[in-house]
């Protein structure tokens, strides 16, 4: 008798991964049935992993889960630090997030007030066939919002609330179990810092900067792109060193852009959210999460209207959740330290935001060129050239220019840059 019949995009999983999926399904009490492999999202939704939906059907019963599958092309793995990304996420789902839940339980925090994250069904971590299996949150009516549209105030506040929970739990761990906190922190690697040691990534950054510089008309924007965007990897190294010796550092989610956050809607209003990607998790300042979210996922007008309100909201939510653990913001993460970190992180935050924006602004047809080059096993130089800004069409270039100018204007408006 055949236990499972794989259908759909079966080639996405090698034999080892298929066997692993079968074993996980058996552990979940599913012993046979059709296993259909489906594509999730479109090109540009994810660069570091191949994401599939695994749908198991038997008679009238359907079970769904998400598979994050590592690329096997060695040059891509080296450039994107694939093994480290998957180790980071595995450590977060296997150790860090369950520990935070334990701390929440010990503090008698109501379940509805706890940090939400997808159920972890298992992982296979032997290189180069890493695969992580997670809950499919779309079953619970969570959706991905449009990555080309600025997140609204209600959505940003939901994510900031989640950050307050994540960061408060991290501070609790740091205070009550410092050795465990240090152990977890050392297992998480700063991917942006690692990029500084990859020659082809540095060349890619130079090419992106050149492309963005060519879009700028005014000297002040051109100068900032040249000076700040060019130093993004160097700033990542400097900030990482600072974070390791920083009394206020916590464990970051690390990559809070729109596609890594699922929202539940009531009409057009976001009423709940769940962060789903922890591949870039690391030790860092709380503002590393906050600034990435705000500057990558919102536009100038929205930031101009709500930025200070968002900072007040985040800090008040952090205070509320720290209180559950018997901790106070005055000694744990005072408001003046938040303001200080926003300024000290400004150069890296702006550089990071401009780099990420240059990648996320791409339409699916543009992002598909990267995937096609990887699938065709092209030389790494040719693969990385597919994300060259100069290859984008006029409409996309205009959007990119407007986004970068909006980012720089926000930093001027907030006083993080001086003319």
For each of the domains in the chain, give its residue range(s) and CATH number, in order of start. Answer: 148-413 (3.90.1200)
E strand residue ranges, 181-339 = 250-252, 261-266, 269-275, 282-284
Q: According to the model, what pLDDT value does residue 63 have?
A: 97
**Each residue of 371-395: pLDDT tens digit?**
788 777 888 788 888 888 888 999 9
Triad 344, 350, 353: Cα angle to 5°: 135
Q: Tokens for 15, please give them.
A: 């034999």
Q: Dihedral of the CA atoms 162, 253, 277, 323 (nearest 10)?
A: -30
- Whether the upstream peptide bond of residue 371 has omega within 30° of 0, thus cis, is no
User: Rounded CA gap, 176 and 170, in Å?
Assistant: 10
Considering only residues 389 and 122, tell me which one the structure prediction assigns the higher pLDDT.
122
Q: Which of 390, 13, 8 is nearest to 209 (CA)?
A: 390
**Each residue of 249-288: pLDDT tens digit?**
999 999 999 999 999 999 999 999 999 999 999 999 999 9
Q: Which of 229, 235, 234, 236 is nearest to 207 (CA)?
A: 229
Q: How many CB atoms neighbour CB 154 within 10 A?
A: 14
Q: According to the model, what pLDDT value does residue 376 have?
A: 78
């Amino acid at each position: 008798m055949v236990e499972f019949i794989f259908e759909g995009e079966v080639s996405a999983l090698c034999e080892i991964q298929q066997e692993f999926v079968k074993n996980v399904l058996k552990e979940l009490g599913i012993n046979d049935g059709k296993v259909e492999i489906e594509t999730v999202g479109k090109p540009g939704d994810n660069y570091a992993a191949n994401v599939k939906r695994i749908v198991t059907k038997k008679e009238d019963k359907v079970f769904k889960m998400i598979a994050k599958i590592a690329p096997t092309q060695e040059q891509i793995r080296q450039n994107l630090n694939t093994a480290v990304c998957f180790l980071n996420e595995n450590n977060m789902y296997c150790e860090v997030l369950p520990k935070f839940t334990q701390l929440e339980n010990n503090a008698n925090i109501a379940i509805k007030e706890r940090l939400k994250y997808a159920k972890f069904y298992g992982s296979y971590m032997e290189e180069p066939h890493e695969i992580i299996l997670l809950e499919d949150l779309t079953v619970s009516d969570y959706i991905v919002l449009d990555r080309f549209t600025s997140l609204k105030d209600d959505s940003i506040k939901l994510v900031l609330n989640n950050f307050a929970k994540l960061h408060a739990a991290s501070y609790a761990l740091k205070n009550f179990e410092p050795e465990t906190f240090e152990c977890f922190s050392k297992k998480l690697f700063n991917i942006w810092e690692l990029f500084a040691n990859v020659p082809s990534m540095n060349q890619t950054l130079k090419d992106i900067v050149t492309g963005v510089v060519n879009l700028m008309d005014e000297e002040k924007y051109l100068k900032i792109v040249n000076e700040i965007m060019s130093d993004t990897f160097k700033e990542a190294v400097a900030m990482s060193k600072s974070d390791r010796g920083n009394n206020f550092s916590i464990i970051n989610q690390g990559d809070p852009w729109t596609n890594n956050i699922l929202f539940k809607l009531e009409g057009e209003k976001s009423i709940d959210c769940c962060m789903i990607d922890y591949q870039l998790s690391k030790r860092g300042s709380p503002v590393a999460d906050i600034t990435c979210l705000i500057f990558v996922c919102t536009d100038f007008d929205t930031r101009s209207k709500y930025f200070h309100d968002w900072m007040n909201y985040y800090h008040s939510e952090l205070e509320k959740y720290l209180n559950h653990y018997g901790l106070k913001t005055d000694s744990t993460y005072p408001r003046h330290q938040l303001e200080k970190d926003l300024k000290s992180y400004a150069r890296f935050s702006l550089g990071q935001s401009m780099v990420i924006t240059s990648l996320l602004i791409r339409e699916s047809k543009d992002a598909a060129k990267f995937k096609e080059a990887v699938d065709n096993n092209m030389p790494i130089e040719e693969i990385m050239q597919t994300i060259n800004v100069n290859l984008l069409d006029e409409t996309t270039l205009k959007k990119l220019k407007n986004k970068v100018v909006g980012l720089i204007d926000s930093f001027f408006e907030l006083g993080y840059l001086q003319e």
